[in-house]
Structure 1
């Protein structure tokens, strides 16, 4: 249609016809008498006038080619309709933002047992002494054995369980957090009841961590909040957020630093809060991807972090620059890390379906002799654990199996089909010779012996 919006109708032989027939904008064609692009039409309107640009010899006042047009508008103010449209868009945007920044969910707690205290006034935090083994001892069992059969199932979560933690030192209670946004506390011995449910996150809970005495614990969830809870009363003591998703959370294990917590965030930072003030007191900002794990090593003077950037970094406590950075081109990300009971080794679940072992003291070197494989974990952060006597390594996998390797020979000894979906965590009870607890995305927590 050329440049004028009309053209001669090619299907009619226009050379004979006295009046040509047009297609396209016929009125325009009549008006321009059927001029084509190749014939000069009426002269265009006069050129827009520019402001006179002064004299080139006076540099300060000379405008030259930069002079404005006489009729040029200086402000681009939207017309009324445009303004209306803009207002609607901004209103929508603000609304969206509001939903993101929900107020933290209200915290509730449910006690599932009749009596909070026994006849002596002891709560469930009291370590039982009638379970056949001494839960107060500090020594690991002499020799451990392979777990063979399932002896109990704790069910109560309505969606997948994301993490389980045993009560510090004694291991007589089990804390679990789940994608159903709830956290539950269970008995490991006697009737193995569900004791308490902690409700207060509006999205899936990703990680939990007890303090040294077990009287309080932290939870980290996808609703971007970290919450501090009282284990006994179920009260939420405080909440922390920096508007990012916390992927992992840890108390500083030193007795005199139990008021400090560190959390690995979705925005690549490790953020340190002081619980007493609720303030951020330090940021460790060196990773290039979301931070997945934080593990204290070397008598808690240092901690190791792993991240989506496929590296492992070692930090001195409170110094925001990593003093060791381990990354090989062949390395995969390692979203689950466990320190061995003797404090010498870090077991890292690597996304290429193997468990790698790094020294956890001075050198942090990869131990090439100890690689555990034969299980499928790609894509899942399956938590690894050691038997307390250091003779076995256990891990769940993507098929819901529990795998047990021999630490000395790295042979895969034993596999049990434990869960219908991913088996995300396996914990070996610190006082037991063969008791392992697993949890899975099928919502169940199981005890094996």
Structure 2
């Protein structure tokens, strides 16, 4: 009974046992991918150099040094490759070894660079070419050095015969020249060539005259009617607004503005400068990088009254005459144009083919036909409108001229430049009477005169406003410095209130700053624009109204 129980097993156990035997058999019959190698006994290995040897009595070949004791041969061994060739495939590409001198390599390299052909380095015979083979065969394979030598030989001229000394008229002696020379013979253009040259010269003059005419000018009036019921234009100063606009500026005490009361948004690009109408301030003139000049109404509906079109590039600066009947514009298209404020007609235009950066009329009543402009060629030009010519040049600066400011009852004027200097000139005399330059000075892009005429405030590129005295001695007032704003890299205008109590300036972050003139204390600052505020003007009669312009293309009016 026990034997029967011991021999008893189920069919599933039998199948499992058979499966295990089958797996064992498969493992025994597995394929081995490693190559068959004859393994020697370690005891049979022989060292090429016996242990303890201090000297080698013979040279051991490299192939013996790299020969393996066990395993396959080195596949990179030259003798192991087919036909005894080396392996040419490398991680960097394909290479072949050639023995060539530095001179021959340089010769073939420069020949290929200049003539587009060279000898094939794989050719042993030296007759096969690569590159432009046809050109190489036509040139007989001349290299860059052989070519130069052949050209030098070909260009060598032969000397003329000295002649017989007995023939005095024809004897040249050691002064004999070379064949083909024409020394001593008359030369010049033929009559036909001279005629063609004169015609081309006249054509170029006509073309230049057409170019000097510049672009055509036109104007657009935006109002409903040019004249009111009494036949008056917008040049008439309004009398019914409760403010005496014909009075003397600076009689009333000024206050710092607090809120925005109007925004003019007619320009499409950055506004470079704004100017109130002289005396009354009932109009506002602006110039922009969109090449347009616009006249705005400060009172009534505060609309755009007229647009002046005539420049092909942005307008950099503008300036009114004393009566406001005319104004001048300076543009990056290298033209200066004088306009009639009322009709919009372009009266005259000037150009010296240099970019004008600033322009100012002479403030004297008897010199309203004279204006000065500072240009990119480091000069200040003085123009006479009546003759249309340059009557004086002031040439002392070492950089582009940024500002022109009349001082001392208009007998002198101050100029600043990118050369980080300040120079004072006598009017109509091109000699510097005062030169101010210090190592700590920076470029001055804007200058404004104090209402009392004794000081000028200069916007410096080191983020401060410096003050200079303009009476008797021109010197810096070190006690007056106005700081707190950021203007580095921007030509932000600085200006005074009409009563002279406040100094104001914009900065590169779109803020407006107001300082007290006596104490240099910062009274107020506020966010005015979304871009750099480059211009600010205090109304000559309104005690707390300020106009600002910015690179965001807007002009804002504050009260």
TM-score of the pair, normalised by structure 1: 0.83
Q: Distance in 1 between matches of 2:380 and 2:357?
A: 10
Structure 1, gaps ≥5 residues long? 15-19, 38-43, 76-89
For 1:51, the equivalent position in structure 2 comes to 160
CA contact (8 A) 1:141 1:432 kept: no
For 2:297, the equivalent position in structure 1 comes to 187
Shift of 1:280: 1.2
Cα 1:9–1:365, aligned 2, differ >3 Å: closer, same or farther?
closer
For 2:546, the equivalent position in structure 1 comes to 436
2:179 corresponds to 1:70 = yes
Describe the superposition over 1:46-84 as per-residue Cα deviations: whole angstroms up to 9, x where unpaired: 97522346899x9xx9886x9654356999xxxxxxxxx
Describe the superposition over 1:340-365 as per-residue Cα deviations: whole angstroms up to 9, x where unpaired: 11111111111111111111222121
For 2:389, the equivalent position in structure 1 comes to 279
Q: Distance in 1 between matches of 2:277 and 2:154?
A: 87
Matches within 5 A, 1:265-344: 265-344=375-454
Matches within 5 A, 1:250-269: 250-269=360-379
2:342 corresponds to 1:222 = no
Q: Distance in 1 between matches of 2:387 and 2:261?
A: 45
2:219 corresponds to 1:109 = yes
CA contact (8 A) 2:161 2:172 kept: no
For 2:17, the equivalent position in structure 1 comes to none
For 2:262, the equivalent position in structure 1 comes to 152
Matches within 5 A, 1:9-408: 20-21=125-126, 24=129, 48-52=157-161, 68-70=177-179, 101=211, 103-408=213-518
Q: Distance in 2 between matches of 1:9 and 1:123?
A: 89
Structure 2, gaps ≥5 residues long? 1-103, 112-116, 147-152, 186-199
CA contact (8 A) 2:233 2:342 kept: yes
- CA-atom RMSD, angstroms? 3.4
1:352 aligned counterpart, secondary structure: coil
Shift of 1:337: 0.7
Shift of 1:375: 0.9
Select 1:420's aligned residue among 516, 520, 530.
530
Count residues in correspondence.
Answer: 415
Q: Distance in 2 between matches of 1:237 and 1:7?
A: 70
Cα 1:153–1:23, aligned 2, differ >3 Å: closer, same or farther?
same
For 1:41, the equivalent position in structure 2 comes to none
CA contact (8 A) 1:141 1:433 kept: no
CA contact (8 A) 1:205 1:221 kept: yes
Q: Which has the higher contact order (CA 8 A, sep 6+)?
A: 1
Cα 1:52–1:214, aligned 2, differ >3 Å: closer, same or farther?
same
Describe the superposition over 1:420-439 as per-residue Cα deviations: whole angstroms up to 9, x where unpaired: 11111111112122111100
Q: Distance in 2 between matches of 1:294 and 1:187?
A: 28
Shift of 1:9: 7.6
Describe the superposition over 1:180-236 as per-residue Cα deviations: whole angstroms up to 9, x where unpaired: 111111111222111111111111111111000011111111111111111111111
Cα 1:182–1:10, aligned 2, differ >3 Å: closer, same or farther?
closer
Q: Distance in 1 between matches of 2:343 and 2:254?
A: 35
Task: Give 1 or 2: higher helix fraction.
Answer: 2
1:321 aligned counterpart, secondary structure: strand
CA contact (8 A) 2:317 2:331 kept: yes
CA contact (8 A) 2:249 2:498 kept: no
Cα 1:345–1:45, aligned 2, differ >3 Å: closer, same or farther?
closer
Q: Distance in 2 between matches of 1:387 and 1:125?
A: 24
Q: Distance in 1 between matches of 2:304 and 2:422?
A: 37
Q: 165-174 or 414-423: which moved more?
A: 414-423
CA contact (8 A) 2:361 2:371 kept: yes
